[in-house]
A = this chain, B = another copy of it.
């Protein structure tokens, strides 16, 4: 039996995959390494896996048409279907097909770890020989004899020279292991009848490598770091000498240390692919939710060390989990690239961050030197090179440089505003000519922390809420397979909830719950009640939830969310003002941050987190009026982890990040009175000045 296969083209990225007839587009996407949203588990109920077949914007209309069959379009409007939209989980491949995956459908992290990550597309043709500084070489050395008494290390360097590696540096721990590794001495003892277990020096650097009795002496794999950002012309460094041939796999890790969430991508440096992902809350969160409280906590040296160990502990768990997914040993990882805001980087390196907090707000180091993993207790190979991406100023770090990089903001002629909706609310405004940046302490509310029933966007999180304007009864969607019971509310759920509460009138503009707004209906208890922590609104009753407890939002939670959104809004408005830019002139609004990618723009505008900037009327008109009014907004996802990943792969990208960091002008808001005023004005829903929010004004009127 021969199987008929068809070609499915995915846009963007020109990913092509061969599939047998009869599979769904979501299955085809999975085969292509793309991971589409399927909150409802592929039942065609949620509408979140919508893709565009034969997208006129993406391909030539005169080409062949896609041969697909839509089993159900129940979640799509007739207009959408007419425009080519289809539910990937309900659309069957019956011939070649051309499919566009809309940006907002890109995968959201639901699991703490996963093996097959969303296929991450490097924005360059990755050539591991030309771009990657970490290389492995298999060396077959001539064994020494009386006619060739060359010392061990010179013998290795002689062989490395044939690979073009000149004058490599070697560390003491590697030299201490070298005679045993070269001679494949695992259980010597034959010579002086010493106990075999005594042969392994405890000063060993080789770590947890399993040595095999079958390994031939004088045949080793050298792991070499050819260069690093802080030694671009520097001599290569030997990172390991492993017995036998270990060139098949070359692993690296990209790490984003968020104040709230840490993400690790395990990367195959040979293919450039992300082979596993893992993320979790930053273990430091219990010692302070924002950077300021952590800096204060770290003032005592013992506590600085505690915070360093907490963050390294989280990273180590994630590295271990990611490695486990692909059957790798963390000892195989020889490069780690780290993004994070300056305080996170200081704490990660155990550098006292105190001066970041005190005027005039000075980091100890923006361009941290590369260090070895062993110096930090990182559970990869102790000789692995750890590279922290550059910071810009006390409150703007490598995550932001990485965002500018991935959006190519520093190359575009038109104005772009980039907002990282994270704990620190960093924002960048500018174009190819100039870049200005600022940060504000938004707090972790939108990452689910600091909110009574907040949680990360994993299984069991309420990710979207609708409130009936008549009954004030909520309905919600939970992350996970059908029937999954809610355990809490994630950032996008909170944002959605707050916007719905405002528009439905459950909460007033000042963030106060309206006592009488949601009395029990049909005998049900009232959803507005006095809870343990003050007034609250119940979204899910205990009977519906995973642990039997009611899920609610309190006025305190609402206040936290309002502070977060007010800080971010005040930040970018004050910055735009400082350079005389009218936000209406901004061509692109980029949303970053791991939470950012799940934002419903309309709802974010409704609560006053994002500026009320619908597409200019003439543009909307020119596109026939059916384009989204929020076309100016684009989601970049977690730009920090993406930047770390790109810098991990490509030495030029790494150098480019330093250039970007140097190019940015930092606007210090901490000592800015204008900022405080703007913040206070934004402490309303959406804002004290409704004139800044025309579409919200209209919605509230309805």
Contacts and interface: CB of A to CB of B under 8 A. Distances in A.
A199 to B, nearest CB: 7
A202 interface: yes
Interface string A646-687: 000000000000000000001010010000000000000000
A172 interface: yes
Contacts of A152: 355, 362-365
Contact of A352 (B201, B301, B666): B201
A171 B369 contact: yes
B361 A149 contact: yes
Interface string A334-369: 000000000000000111101100111111111111
Interface in A168-200: 169-172, 175-176, 178-180, 183, 191-192, 194, 198-200
Of the listed residues A146, A169, A179, A230, the one surrounded by the most CB atoms of chain B closer than 10 A to its CB is A179
Nearest to A666: B149
A183 to B, nearest CB: 7
Contact of A153 (B144, B354, B360, B364): B364
Given A176-B350, A300-B198, A352-B176, A146 B192 contact: no
Contact of A362 (B144, B351, B363): B144
A149 B299 contact: no
A638 B407 CA distance: 66
A620 interface: no
Contacts of A621: none
Contact of A671 (B146, B171, B178): B146
A513 B24 CA distance: 82
Contacts of A671: 146
Contacts of A360: 144-146, 148-149
Given A175-B364, A351-B175, A201 B151 contact: no
Given A169-B369, A371-B172, A301 B199 contact: yes
A169 B230 contact: yes
Number of copies: 2
A234 B167 CA distance: 12
Contacts of A301: 198-203
B146 A668 contact: yes
Given A152-B355, A362-B151, A375 B296 contact: no
Contacts of A171: 369
A154 interface: yes
A149 B230 CA distance: 22
Interface in A286-327: 296, 299-302, 304-305
Contact of A366 (B151, B179, B231): B151
Contact of A175 (B144, B148, B180, B349): B349
A203 B153 CA distance: 32
Nearest to A354: B179
A394 interface: yes
Contacts of A8: none
A84 interface: no
A361 B179 CA distance: 12
Contacts of A146: 359-361, 668, 671
Interface in A150-169: 150-154, 169
A300 to B, nearest CB: 5
Contacts of A375: 172
A393 interface: yes
A474 interface: no
A323 B671 CA distance: 50
A169 B232 CA distance: 12
A344 to B, nearest CB: 15
Contacts of A22: none
Among A169, A175, A366, residue most surrounded by chain B Cβ atoms (within 10 Å): A175
Interface in A37-64: none
Contact of A154 (B176, B202, B354, B367): B367
A189 to B, nearest CB: 10
Contacts of A33: none
Nearest to A375: B172
A393 B391 CA distance: 48
Given A172-B371, A304-B201, A363-B152, A179 B668 contact: no
A629 interface: no
A235 interface: yes
Contacts of A355: 152, 179, 183
Contacts of A145: 360
Contacts of A668: 146, 149
Nearest to A43: B192
A375 B203 CA distance: 11
Contacts of A394: 149
Interface in A199-236: 199-203, 230-231, 233-235
Contacts of A354: 179
A194 B297 CA distance: 11
A369 B174 CA distance: 11
Nearest to A189: B299
B150 A362 contact: yes
A623 B171 CA distance: 56
Contacts of A352: 176, 179-180, 201
Interface of A: 144-146, 148-154, 169-172, 175-176, 178-180, 183, 191-192, 194, 198-203, 230-231, 233-235, 296, 299-302, 304-305, 349-352, 354-355, 358-369, 371, 375, 391, 393-394, 666, 668, 671
22 contacts: A146-B361, A149-B362, A149-B668, A150-B362, A151-B391, A152-B364, A152-B365, A153-B366, A169-B230, A172-B349, A175-B349, A175-B368, A176-B351, A192-B296, A194-B300, A198-B300, A201-B304, A201-B350, A201-B352, A203-B350, A234-B234, A234-B235
Ordered nearest first, which 10 A-B pairs have the shortest CB separation? A201-B301, A153-B365, A151-B366, A151-B363, A152-B364, A198-B300, A146-B360, A144-B362, A179-B364, A145-B360
